[in-house]
């Protein structure tokens, strides 16, 4: 690639940034022509192209690119020191290409209409509504824990393999699409990341590769949590970028699955968010509700806590801070806290369903 071409591509980066910001200010346009337009075909093509592979092709691409980058710097270190501006131009070229590919293949979904618009619900709620939902979620979690174990003290252990969980996730989406056709999921591309251990050290349960549209799940996560993590990542594949929205989609899909293990996973996951929110808003009622949770459910919470504590490290807050900044830059003003917005979505969706009865 000639220097003139490199200069043009590098200078295109700020132009692209301004263009994305301008287009992003028209969420209806993004919703109609990108998220429900060209992205539908892009995502299906990529899932068809890579979904059949039993391993994560995107993870392999990242590995190769890192190796090539290190090799390039090592072999050209002298010229880099002599002509640092040319090296900076090369970096700008790479960033420009990555920026373009990211937004074309998935990233413009950050600027679509929120799921509240899609489902006609709100996010705001009162503490009393939170208490009412939390009691309901406890009831359902206890119900499925007892149904699956036959007592109140045993934790739930999913006996399915990861492949079976991924297959059942696809089935759950098919069932959910009967009610909401826009959430139909075809050409499954849901995999366990080869970087599951590094993901755990960073504190992540999974991620979507925006360049291959592969949904990557942290494969060493306790299995009782995998159905909702899988449902969450598929939500990203369907074009929903907001973390609270995909948490909500994952909850709806798994809770309405015909599989009791999936239902338990959904309510257990939702319960964690509800209890955290309630603890900060009404500690007294939080304690009252916690006392009603089955010991077996608490054991699963302990299992999850012990899992994450095992991988705690000084770098995790840095990774979380970087991701928090990334989310804020990409139209999620609450950053990592946006995961917790699932509580408001669940409350208002439940109210909507009760009002329709």
For residue 353, the model assigns a pLDDT of 77
Q: What are phi and psi of 216, to 5 degrees?
A: -100, 125
Residue 193, pLDDT > 80, answer yes
Over the stretch 287-296, which tens digit does the pLDDT of each residue have? 999 999 999 9
Give the mean pLDDT of 225-243: 92
pLDDT band of residue 336 (cuts 50, 70, 90) is very low
Average pLDDT over all residues of the chain: 87
CB atoms within 10 A of CB 24: 18
Over the stretch 56-75, which tens digit does the pLDDT of each residue have? 999 999 999 999 988 988 88
In terms of Cβ atoms closer than 10 Å to its own Cβ (0-12, 13-18, 19+), residue 272 is middle
pLDDT band of residue 333 (cuts 50, 70, 90) is low
For residue 170, the model assigns a pLDDT of 93
Comparing CA positions, the residue from 294, 242, 256 lying closest to residue 117 is: 242
Select, from the ranges 119-123, 230-234, 304-308, the one with the highest average predicted confidence (pLDDT). 230-234
Paired tokens of 12: 């295109």
b/e map 288-320, b = 16+ CB within 10 Å: ebeeebbebbeebeebbeeeeeeeeeeebeebe
Over the stretch 303-319, which tens digit does the pLDDT of each residue have? 998 988 888 766 556 54
Domain range summary for the chain, segments of one domain joined by + = 3-111, 115-355
3-class secondary structure, 1: coil
pTM above 0.85, yes or no: yes
pLDDT band of residue 34 (cuts 50, 70, 90) is very high
3-class secondary structure, 190: strand
For residue 1, the model assigns a pLDDT of 66
Rounded CA separation 12/169 (Å): 40
Over the stretch 132-160, which tens digit does the pLDDT of each residue have? 999 999 999 999 999 999 999 999 999 89
CB 50, CB 212: distance < 8 Å: yes
Residue 81, pLDDT > 50, answer yes
Over the stretch 158-187, which tens digit does the pLDDT of each residue have? 989 999 999 999 999 999 998 888 888 888
For residue 351, the model assigns a pLDDT of 83
């Amino acid at each position: 690639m000639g220097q003139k071409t490199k200069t043009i591509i590098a200078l295109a980066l700020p132009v692209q940034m301004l263009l994305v910001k301008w287009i992003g200010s028209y969420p209806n346009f993004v919703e109609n022509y990108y998220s429900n337009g060209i992205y539908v075909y892009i995502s299906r093509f990529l899932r068809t192209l890579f979904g059949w592979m039993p391993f994560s092709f995107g993870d392999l691409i990242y590995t190769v690119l890192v190796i090539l980058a290190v090799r390039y710097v090592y072999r050209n270190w002298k010229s880099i020191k002599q002509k640092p501006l040319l090296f900076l131009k090369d970096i700008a070229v790479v960033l420009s290409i990555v920026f373009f590919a990211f937004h074309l293949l998935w990233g413009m979904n950050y600027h679509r209409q929120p799921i509240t618009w899609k489902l006609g619900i709100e996010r705001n709620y009162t503490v009393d509504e939170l208490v009412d939902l939390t009691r309901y979620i406890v009831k359902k979690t206890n119900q499925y824990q007892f149904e699956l174990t036959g007592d109140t003290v045993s934790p739930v252990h999913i006996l399915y393999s990861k492949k079976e969980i991924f297959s059942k996730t696809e089935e759950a989406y098919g069932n959910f699409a009967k009610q909401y056709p826009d959430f139909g999921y075809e050409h499954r591309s849901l995999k366990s990341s080869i970087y599951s251990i590094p993901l755990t050290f960073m504190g992540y349960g999974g991620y979507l590769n925006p360049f291959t549209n592969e949904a990557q799940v942290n494969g060493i996560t306790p299995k009782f949590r995998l159905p909702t993590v899988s449902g969450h990542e598929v939500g990203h594949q369907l074009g929903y970028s907001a973390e609270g929205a995909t948490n909500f989609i994952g909850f709806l899909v798994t809770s309405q699955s015909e599989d009791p293990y999936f239902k338990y996973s959904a309510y257990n996951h939702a319960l964690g968010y509800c209890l955290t929110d309630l603890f900060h808003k009404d500690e007294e009622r939080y304690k009252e509700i916690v006392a009603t949770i089955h010991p077996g459910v608490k054991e699963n919470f302990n299992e999850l806590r012990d899992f994450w504590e095992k991988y705690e490290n000084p770098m995790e807050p840095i990774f979380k801070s970087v991701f928090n900044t990334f989310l804020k830059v990409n139209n999620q003003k609450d950053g990592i806290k946006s995961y917790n917005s699932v509580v408001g979505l669940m409350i208002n969706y439940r109210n909507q369903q009760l009002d329709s009865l």
